[in-house]
Each structure stands twice: as C-alpha cells, then as structure tokens.
Structure 1
Amino acid sequence: SLPITGYALIGANVRRVKAAREESIANYRQAVLTAVKDVETSLGQIHYRAEQAAAQNEALKSSTAAADLIRTQYESGTIGQLDLLVSERTRLQVERQSAQLSAQRLIATVRLIKALGGQW
C-alpha cells in the first residue's frame, strides 16, 4: 500500500500528463488551422495573379502591336524618333510588369506547395 503522499504524487503526475496532452492537442489544432489558412491564402493569390496575367497579356499584345505600328511609321518617315522611343519604352514597361507578375505567380505556387507540406 502506498502512503498518502504517493497517491498525491501519482495524481499530480496524471494531471500533468493530461495537461500536456491537452496542450499538444491544442498546438496540433492550431497548426492545422494555420496550414488550412496558408493553403487558402496561396490558392487565392494564384487565382488573383492568373486574372491579372490575363489582363496583362492583353495589355502586352496591345503595346506590342502599337510599338510595331509606330516602328513601321518611323521606318516610312511619317513620325519621329521620339515617338518610336516612347512606344518602345511603354512596351518594355508592360513586359517588365508581365515578368514581375509571372514571378509573383511562381512565388504563390511555391507558397502553396510549402503550405501543403512540400519541401522547398
């Protein structure tokens, strides 16, 4: 038979183990909620960036067509070099924005892979 202090010690240990278990469960639940939030955020970013990319592709087509037209006009002598340079600058700005958008989409994809537990 155990003395009373032995029972008290066992009871305290049981309470400590139960508290540690509850803490572990709470930590696990929080980790799952964080992971779900991260996946949802990443999917939203990918979707948003895809919509932006579609609009940006149209802008790129338009700026390229305009730059080509202005180059033709410049080569035929109907407009000056400044107009040509302005149109090329605009086209290059749109291309840069497209590249930045592509990079943002790739970053969002990597974040999604990480949120799903992938190694990167």
Structure 2
Amino acid sequence: MKKLLILSVACFLFAGSQLSFAQTKTKTPVVSSSATIQNSPKEKTMQIVNMLERTNKLNEGQKKDVYQIYYSLERKMKGVDAIKDASEKNAKRAKMQEYINSKLKDVLNEEQYDIYLKNTVAK
C-alpha cells in the first residue's frame, strides 16, 4: 500500500512537471507602443509594385521607375528617421510622401495612381 501511494505521488509530480514545461514562451521581439516599425525602401517598393500588379498591370518601365523613386530616397528617409523631434520628423515625412506621390503621379497613369492613393490612404 505504501509503495502504491509513493508511486502515485511520483506520477502526479511527473505529470505536473510536464504540464509546467509544456507551454514554453516563444521569443518574439518586444515593440513598445511608442515605437513604429518602418518598412525598408525595398519592402515598400515591393508592396506598391505588387499591389499595382494585382489591380492594374504595370509595364516593365513603370516598375523600374517605381523602384528608382524609392531607392533614390533611401538615404533621405534614414536621415528623417534619425530626427529626434517628433513634430519635425512628421513634417519631414509628410513632405517626403508628397514628393513620392508627385513622382509616382508622373510615372503611373491616372487609373494606377488612383488605385495607389486608395490603397495607401487606407493603411
């Protein structure tokens, strides 16, 4: 009887230890609510090109021009991200977005540009 009691206690301890280790924590990056994750110019370009290709065909020249617009601004965007003052950073980002929009308006036709605006404003 004593051996049976010790065996059942040992089984409960073993089962309890297995349950406590069954759900290990995953290592996910912690991002505070004040931090924002910015897409790299390459990722942003790919998102826009893919979105336009799904909705309206882009020709190879237009793809190349869209890539060139974003790659030419990569350094400037990194400089804007380095600004400490939030209001100044937001003002510079808005100015850069206006510049990007004006360049894309020159590259894309009206229908493509409207689709671009609808999808980027919705995000």
Q: Specify which structure has the higher proportion of helix.
A: 1
The structure that has the greater radius of gyration is 1
TM-score between both structures, scaled by the size of structure 2: 0.37
- Which one has more relative contact order, counting CA pairs under 8 Å at least 6 apart? 1
TM-score between both structures, scaled by the size of structure 1: 0.38
